[in-house]
Chain A
Amino acid sequence: MTKLERLLGYLIFTRAWTRSFVRSEFKRVTTYIDALFAMHPDGKGQSACVVMLGNTLVHEVSQTENCNKKLD
């Protein structure tokens, strides 16, 4: 129940957050790539990618890695 309340609180607080296209020069595509090793309890990692066109978010991916961390 605590988790549900927290989730609902987050959704209510962020319901006005929308993605905006900012006026800027669309000349360069910038990719931000980040990964976190073995952050999940089952030993899997998390990786994410954000593609920006100028100052505008165009594409984003966030997914759990398929392979587990190699445990000794």
Chain B
Amino acid sequence: MRIIVDRAKCSSIGMCEAVAPDVFEIGADGALTVLTEEVGEDRRAEMVQACQDCPTQALSLEG
């Protein structure tokens, strides 16, 4: 699956990074980077958690 970031909504709060630091990173410039283009199916629960935890609903999954 792929992670879609709505840049207009993302406020770089970093809750996603708390769930999966190897997938999400808030950089020194305050912008969110998704470190892994494709995330394996075995981590779906974790990615759903990251989307749900996002206070601004900026994350969604594709595929």
Task: Indicate whether A and B interact.
Answer: no
> What is A's interface to B at a CB cutoff of 8 Å?
none
